[in-house]
Amino acid sequence: MRHILIVLSFMFIVVNNYWLNCVAENDLERLHKIQSLLCVPNKTDTAIVDKVIECEHKHNITAEGIAFAKKLETKLTDCSNKANVSAYTKVDQTVMVRKQALIMYCDKEFFNCLVKVFVDNKDLMNEQGRIDKSQDEAVKAKTYQCVLDVFKN
């Protein structure tokens, strides 16, 4: 779980604001761009996924962010169980963190499920909004650039 926290916190931001209909243009564009590059089942392989995960590793997540993700762990697991990334046959999914990264970025069911978690729980939504405000845009931009660089060659 810890390894994918940055992806998660990014997804929380998009999902939460997506529902509120005020997702920052920037964040949604970034998500769609990453999806267009990463979510290509017959192209994306183990090495690509590992590099994307590595980008997330370079940046620390706050203790507050970790606590929040922990709180959501059961719901996240439920949402993940509905996901299907079996089309990504070039990715060795026996390593859980790879499968999780694919699910979070690429599975539409997971996204919708996560939206519903926030919609159904206003306290979580508000808490996420608060955490989001404390997150450093520079860090988000750096992580995003790192992911883009994975696909440069």
**Number of shown-chain residues binding ligand NAG (CB under 6 A):** 7
Give me the least distance between CB of 127 and ligand NAG, in Å please.
23
60 makes contact with ligand NAG (CB under 6 A): yes
Per CB under 6 A, the list member of 23, 24, 87, 119 interacting with ligand NAG is 87
Per CB under 6 A, 84 contacts ligand NAG? yes
Give the Cα separation of 110 and 138 in Å (integer).
27
Nearer to ligand NAG, 111 or 118 (CB): 111
Sign of CA dihedral 79, 21, 57, 123: negative
CB 133 within 8 A of CB 62: no
CA atoms within 13 A of residue 96's CA, in its CB half-sphere: 7
Residue 139 touches ligand NAG, criterion: CB under 6 A:
no
Q: Is position 77 an interface residue for ligand NAG (rule: CB under 6 A)?
A: no
Distance, CA of 4 to chain centre? 7
**Chain-centre distance of CA 112, in angstroms?**
13
Which 89-108 positions form the footprint of ligand NAG (CB under 6 A)? none
Residue among 36, 77, 81, 86 that touches ligand NAG (CB under 6 A) = 86
Taking Cα atoms as reference points, which of 58, 27, 53 lies closest to residue 137? Answer: 27
Nearer to ligand NAG, 36 or 60 (CB): 60
Residue 18: count of CB within 10 angstroms of its CB: 18
Residues interacting with ligand NAG, by CB under 6 A? 42-43, 59-60, 84, 86-87
